Homo-oligomer: A and B are copies of this chain.
């Protein structure tokens, strides 16, 4: 059973589109939208295992330098 999560991202000012380009390179990222409100970007990811979710957060998304803060909201199946 796939595990899905939404990640709410705040970027450095003026870097939103650059971060979107970086996120597009990740195959686990199924959807990206730039949004208004307290967050800049909302991403939907889908992975196979819980460890994969940890991996993409720690070793891929957190390596995009123009990101200020990420908040991961796993989907409750």
Q: List residues of A whose CB falls within 8 A of some B CB.
A: 1, 3-6, 10, 13-14, 16-17, 33-39, 42, 50-51, 53-54, 57-58, 62-65, 67-77
Contacts and interface: CB of A to CB of B under 8 A. Distances in A.
A64 to B, nearest CB: 7
26 contacts: A1-B50, A1-B51, A3-B50, A4-B33, A5-B35, A10-B69, A13-B64, A13-B65, A14-B63, A14-B65, A16-B58, A16-B62, A33-B75, A34-B75, A34-B76, A35-B73, A36-B36, A37-B73, A37-B74, A38-B73, A39-B73, A50-B74, A50-B77, A57-B76, A58-B76, A74-B74
Contact of A13 (B1, B39, B53, B62): B62
